[in-house]
Amino acid sequence: MANLTISVDDATLKRARLRALQRDESVNAYLAEALRRYADAGDAMETMARVLSIAEASTHGTGRGGRAWTRDQLHRA
């Protein structure tokens, strides 16, 4: 596991530590999770773009005519 050093003003760090205590977590754990979400955001956006592409290609909605794509097709995206 790699270490990362960031710079933040003292007042912000103090407020972050107090908030972390209230939430029973550490500032380090919170930042690590936020960084994971940031790094993975591109993957989620690409997946959503594929799902939207399938939906846009559909000639039917979920109304009377039903869907033009199956659940399996959606999950293969």
Would you say how long the chain is, in residues?
77
What does the pLDDT profile of the chain (77 residues) look like in tens digits? 888 899 999 999 999 999 999 999 999 999 999 998 888 877 777 888 888 887 777 666 666 566 666 778 777 75
Per the CB < 8 A criterion, the answer to whether 73 and 54 are in contact is yes
Residue 62 contacts by C-beta under 8 Å, 6 or more apart in sequence? none
